Chain A
Amino acid sequence: MNPAAKLVELTIDGTAVSVPQGTTIFDAARTHGIPIPTLCHQQNENPVGVCRVCVVDIGQRVYAASCIRQAEQGMTVKTNTAPVVGVRHTLVELLMSDHPSPCARQQHSGDCELERLAEQAGIQQPRFARRTTPRGHDDSSLAIAVDHEACILCDRCIRGCDDIRNNWVLARRGKGYQAGIAFDNNLPMGGSSCVSCGECMVSCPTGALTNRSAVGTKLEGGALDIGALLGLPIFKNVSGTFLELNSHAIVERKFRAGEIICREGDFGATAFYLVDGKVEVYLSSPIAHVKTEGSAKGFLSKLRSMLQSREQDERTEESSRVSIPIDAPVDLPYDHPIAELGPGDLFGEMTCMSYYPRSATVRAKTDCTMLEMLRNVLDIMQRNKTFREQLDRTYRQRALDSHLRSVPVLASLTPDFIDHLRNRVELLRFTPGQVICTQGEPADSFYLVRLGFVKVAQSRPGGELVLAYLARGSYFAEMSLLTGTPHMATCSALDHVEVVRVPGEDFQVMLDRFPEIRRKLEEAAAEHMEQNRQRVTKVADVTVDQFLNQGLMEAQSLLILDLDRCTRCDQCVRACADAHDGVSRLIRDGLRFDRYLVATSCRQCRDPLCMVGCPVGSIRRRNTLEVIIEDWCIGCGQCANNCPYGNINMHPFPVELDDPAYPGRRMAGVKVKATSCDLCLDHAEPSCVYACPHDAAHRVNPLEFFGGLLKRQTVAKSGK
C-alpha cells in the first residue's frame, strides 16, 4: 500500500473506514473485517466482476460489484440489506440452476464455493428450470478434469493461466448458452498446448476444473517436500498448490547399486525420473523367439519350436534390425541389448501413460535417486516447458541418431547429416485419437514414431480400413513425400504418442543425398502400395451378417475345418503341437460358418489389434502380411489379451536365466512367451493342414473361399 496515496473515507455498513484511493469496496470491507461473499474474485488475480455475487448497495440506481468498484470519498456502502441479500440470493439461485449439485469438488472435498454460498443462503432447489443442452466434459488431460457443466464462467482459470502463468492457453469461447472456457482453439485440454501447471485448477471455485487423482493409490516411498519439488527445474512454473494436491502421486525413491527398479513384462502405472545416479536398462528375457524350424532338411524335416537364441537364428528378414524399441529415451542395440541412463532421463512413459507392461528391466548401476510418478504428475512434467526443452535437447543429442538408425532404411545416414537434422527435427505429442496427418491432405513432413502407437487407416466407402499400427521405430508419410501425392491414409494417435517430425524439405535433401535410402524407400513404398491395392480389392462388397459378426471379413487367412469331413480326430492339433514343441497353437473349437469350423488359430487380421500395446514392438506384420512375434517378446501377455479371437496364447518355455543369488551362475527357469500360428513358414503348407488325413483342414482366404457362398447367401436373402 502506497503510504503516499491519498486516502478516501467512506461508510460500510455504518462503519466509517478509510482506505487509500483506488482500493475496491471489496478490499475496503475485507480489510475492516466486513465479509462480502464472492465467486469470481480471487486475491491474486485482477478483478473482472463477472459473477456479481459481491454486489453492494452504494446508494446508486444499481448495485455495484464490490470487487471492481473503487471506494470513493463519502460513499455509503451497505453490504447486508435485505434487498442486497435478496439480489445475491437470486444470483446464487440462478447460478445453482446451471450447476450440477453436488459437483465434483463438492463431492470430493465439500468446498465448492458456489454450493457453500447456496448452502448459506439456504437454497435447496433453484426455482429456475435447468438448461437442457449439456455442456460436456473434457477428460483428455491426465492431470485435470474439466466439467463444463459445473463452470460458472467466473474466468478465474483464464486469468490464472494468462495473467499469472503467462501460458495463454485458456480463454472464453462462444456466446450465451454456448459460452464456456476453451483451451487454445477450443481443443480438448489434453490435446492443447496446456503445460499442466495446475494454476487454473487451483483457481477454480467450483468443480469445473478438478484434480484427477490418478488411481487414488499412494505411492510408497519418501514423501516429498513441495518446496524441494518446486525447486527442480522440471517443475518450474507449476502451481505449488497443484503439486500439493498431487503429492501422493509422486515420490522419491532411492536405490542402491544393483537393485532392480522394474522388470520387463510387469504391469505398472508409474514413470521414473532419474534425479541422480545411473541405471542400466536391459532385456533379461533371452533374445530368442519361439521359432519353428525344420530339424532336418528335405521331405523328412520335422518341425520344432524352441527358443532360438540370437546366435542360432538369423532370420533373413530381420537381419537389418539394429535396435529394439523400449520405453525409454534410448533404444537397445539388438546385438547387445543394454543401455545406460543418467540424471535427467525419464523412463516408463508408456507404462505410465497407457498402462503398457514394462518393456525392459532397469537396474541401478550406481546408488541413485529417482522420482516415481503417476500419470497425472508425469503429464505435468511432460507438459512442463522446461522439461520439454530438456527432453527435446536430450533427444536430439542422444536418441536421435540411434532412433534414426534403428529404422532399417535409414541406417546408412551419415553423422553429419544427422547433425544437420538434430536442430531441424521437432518432437510432437499427440493424445489418443488425435490426428497426425489426414488422408488426402498434402504431405509436408516425415514422421518417426518415438512413443506409443499410430494407427494408419484409410477411409473408404465400406468404412475405415486399418492398414497398420505403427509402433516405436516405425515411420510414416514417406510415400507421399516420395511421390509428392497427398497422404494416402489418415494417421492418428492410438494412445499417447510422440513422433519426431522431419520437415519435408530435409527429407527431400536426405533423399537426394542418399540415393540408397531413396531406392529402399521406393521399394518399400511400392510394396506397400501393392499390398494396399490388393487389400482394397480383396475387401469385396459382399456383406453377410454372420460373416461380419464373426470378424471373418477382417481375416486374411482362416484355418477352417470342413465339418462334413472332419472326424474330430484331433490330428491337426497334435500336428501343431508336434510342430511347436508340444504346444498347440491351434484350438479346435470356435464358431462355425456354414459347414466350416473356423478354428482358433491366427487369422492375420486386417486390423491386427494384437499389435497394439506391445511394449517392445515384437509383434508385427511381415511384409507378406503374416502376424509374427519377434524374438524379443518379453512375455507380458498384452497381445494375447488384445486378440479378440483367443488366437494368441502365452506358453511357458524352459530357459536358463541368471541366478540372482549367485551372479554369473545360470539357473533353470521358465519364461513365458506369446505364441501364435506361424503358418509353419518353413514349409509350403501349415502342419495342421498337412496332417489332416480327411482333407478337412484348409488354410483359406475367407473372401476367396467363402466368396461363392456369400454371394449365394446374399442372393438368397435378396430373393426372399
Chain B
Amino acid sequence: MRIDETHRKWFIGSLVGLAVAVVVYVPYSRSSPQGAGGGTTMGLIYGSVAFAFMIFAGLLGARKKVPIWRLGRAQAWMRGHLWLGFVSFPLIVLHSGFHFGVGLTKALMWLFAVVFVSGIVGAVLQHFMPRITTQRIPLETIYEQIGRVRLQLMEEAISLVDEAYALLHGDVSQANEQQRAASASAGTMGGLTVASGMQVDEEASAELKQFFQGEIQPFLAQSGSHGHVLADRNRAQAMFRQLRTLLPPNLHSTVDDLENICEEKREIDQQARYHRVLHGWLLVHIPASYALLILGAVHAVMALRY
C-alpha cells in the first residue's frame, strides 16, 4: 500500500508511541538493578504491547480470509499492519533490552528481524512496483491466468498463420472460412480482402513457416522467455521487419498481428517477473511471521508461566 498523506495520523501516532516507549525506557533501564530485560514489569509491558501489535499485524492475514466481514475496511487493517508492525520491532528490542538472548529468544529475534526487514522491503516494493508494472506492461492481465492467456495467444497465432498459408496458396474460400473462424475464436476484427487468382508463393510460404515454427511457436510455448530472440523487443522488431520484406504485402497485417501477439506474450512474461518481484517477499514474510507468532506465543506462555 502506498504510504501517502492519508497516513499522517498513523505516522504521527506510531512515532509518538515509539517516542514515548523510548522516553520511558531510559529511566527504566537506568533504574532497574539488573538492567532492562523481558522479565521486569516494564519489559513485560513492552513485550506484551509489541506482541499484541504483532498479533494484530498477523491478523491481517486472517482478515483477508474473510474479506467481506464488516470488521473495518481492509485498508484500515493494512495501515494498522504497516504501522503497528513497524512499531512492534523497536518495542521488542526495548523489551529485550537490546539483548538477543539464547535459544528460543535468539531464534525469535532473528525471525522477527527477518519478518521486519522483509516487511519493509515489501512496503517499499509496493511503493514503486505497481507503478512500474503499470507503465511498462500496458497489456497486463491477471497473473494467475497468464498460462491460459498464453495458450490463447498461441491458438490465435496458429490460426492466423494457417489463414496466411491458405491465402498464400490461393485457397480463397478456405481462407475466408478460417479467417472467420479466427475472428470468432481469437477475437480478430475485420478480415482480409482476398484477391482471387493469386499466385502460389511457395517461397513466402516457406519463409513464414520457418519463422513461425522456428521462432514464434517456441517463444509462445515457453512460459518464461529468457534468452529467446523474440524476448528482446528490439531484436523482435528487426526480425518482424525482415519478415515483412519477405512476404507479399497482403500478409503484412498478419505479420502485424503476429508481432502484436509476441509483444503481448513478452509483456505478460515481463508481468510474471514483476509479479514475482512484487509478491516474492511474501514467501519470506508470511511463513516467517507465522513461525514468529507461534514461537512468540510459546515464548509468552512459558515466560508467563515461570
Contacts and interface: CB of A to CB of B under 8 A. Distances in A.
Q: Do A and B interact directly, with beta carbons closer than 8 Å?
A: yes
A567 B70 contact: no
B59 to A, nearest CB: 12
Given A692-B74, A693-B77, A565 B67 contact: no
Contact of A566 (B64, B70, B130): B130
Contact of B69 (A302, A565, A566): A302
Interface stretch (B8-16, B139-147, B161-169, B289-297): B139-147
B138 interface: yes
B183 interface: no
Given A568-B275, A589-B141, A693-B74, A575 B131 contact: no
A680 B68 CA distance: 10
B94 interface: no
A694 B6 CA distance: 12
Nearest to B81: A693
Interface in B114-150: 126, 129-131, 133-134, 138, 141-145
A592 B74 contact: no
Contacts of A189: none
Contacts of B129: 567
Dominant SS among interface residues on chain A: loop
Interface stretch (A119-127, A155-163, A615-623, A683-691): A683-691
B279 interface: yes
Nearest to B139: A592
Contact of B70 (A301, A569, A588, A693): A301
Interface in B61-98: 64, 66-75, 77-78
Q: Which has the most chain A C-beta neighbours within 10 Å: B64, B77, B138, B145?
A: B64
Given A694-B75, A694-B78, A695-B2, A687 B68 contact: yes
A298 B142 CA distance: 34
B279 A690 contact: no
B278 interface: yes
Interface string A563-605: 1111111110011001100000001110010010000000000
B13 to A, nearest CB: 18
B113 interface: no
Given A564-B131, A693-B60, A303 B75 contact: no
A662 interface: no
B1 interface: yes
Interface in B36-76: 60, 64, 66-75
A595 B78 CA distance: 22
A567 B142 contact: no
Interface string A284-306: 00000000000000111111000
B74 A571 contact: yes
A571 B1 contact: no
A691 B76 CA distance: 10
Contacts of A566: 130
Interface string A675-718: 00000100101010011111100000000000000000000000
A37 to B, nearest CB: 39
A30 B289 CA distance: 106
Contacts of A565: 1-2, 130
Contact of A563 (B6, B66, B77, B134): B134
Contacts of A575: 67-68
Contacts of A569: 279
A568 B142 CA distance: 8
Contacts of A303: 68
Interface string B277-306: 011000000000000000000000000000
B279 A302 contact: no
Contacts of A567: 1, 126, 129-130, 278-279
B60 to A, nearest CB: 7
A595 B131 CA distance: 9
Contacts of A299: 69-72
B133 A571 contact: no
A565 B138 CA distance: 15
Nearest to B137: A563
Contact of B66 (A302, A680, A685, A692): A302
Given A565-B1, A565-B2, A693-B78, A683 B278 contact: no
Given A579-B68, A691-B67, A693-B78, A570 B130 contact: no
Contacts of B2: 564-565, 694-695
A302 B69 CA distance: 5
Nearest to B76: A693
A302 B65 CA distance: 12
Interface string A330-360: 0000000000000000000000000000000
A683 B72 CA distance: 12
A564 B68 contact: no
A446 to B, nearest CB: 45
A569 B122 CA distance: 13
Contacts of B73: 685, 690
A579 B66 CA distance: 9
A687 B131 CA distance: 24
A692 B1 CA distance: 10
Q: Which has the most chain A C-beta neighbours within 10 Å: B73, B74, B78, B141?
A: B74
B142 A589 contact: yes
B142 A563 contact: no
B78 A302 contact: no
B133 A563 contact: yes
A685 B66 CA distance: 16
Contact of B68 (A595, A690, A692, A693): A690
B66 A683 contact: no
A564 B134 contact: yes
Contacts of A690: 67-68, 70, 73-74
A672 B2 CA distance: 41
A300 B64 contact: no
Contacts of A570: 142-144
Nearest to B132: A564
A571 B71 contact: no
A498 to B, nearest CB: 34
Given A690-B70, A693-B77, A568 B143 contact: yes
A268 to B, nearest CB: 23
Nearest to A303: B68
Given A578-B68, A588-B142, A589-B142, A691 B131 contact: no
Nearest to A564: B131
A441 to B, nearest CB: 40
B30 to A, nearest CB: 41
B169 to A, nearest CB: 31
B209 to A, nearest CB: 33
B264 to A, nearest CB: 13
Contacts of B138: 592
B67 A694 contact: no
A694 B126 contact: yes
Given A564-B130, A568-B143, A588-B142, A691 B71 contact: no
B67 A578 contact: yes
Interface of B: 1-2, 6, 60, 64, 66-75, 77-78, 126, 129-131, 133-134, 138, 141-145, 275, 278-279
Interface of A: 298-303, 563-571, 574-575, 578-579, 587-589, 592, 595, 680, 683, 685, 687, 690-695
24 contacts: A299-B69, A299-B70, A299-B71, A300-B71, A301-B70, A302-B66, A564-B2, A568-B142, A568-B143, A568-B279, A570-B144, A571-B64, A574-B64, A589-B141, A592-B134, A595-B134, A687-B67, A690-B73, A691-B68, A692-B75, A693-B1, A693-B75, A694-B75, A695-B1
Given A301-B70, A564-B131, A695-B2, 19 more contacts: A298-B70, A302-B66, A565-B1, A566-B130, A567-B279, A568-B143, A568-B278, A570-B143, A574-B64, A575-B67, A592-B138, A685-B73, A687-B67, A690-B67, A691-B68, A692-B75, A693-B77, A694-B78, A694-B126
- For the complex of A and B, the 8 pairs showing the least CB-CB separation, nearest first, are A575-B67, A691-B67, A693-B78, A563-B134, A694-B1, A693-B74, A299-B70, A687-B68
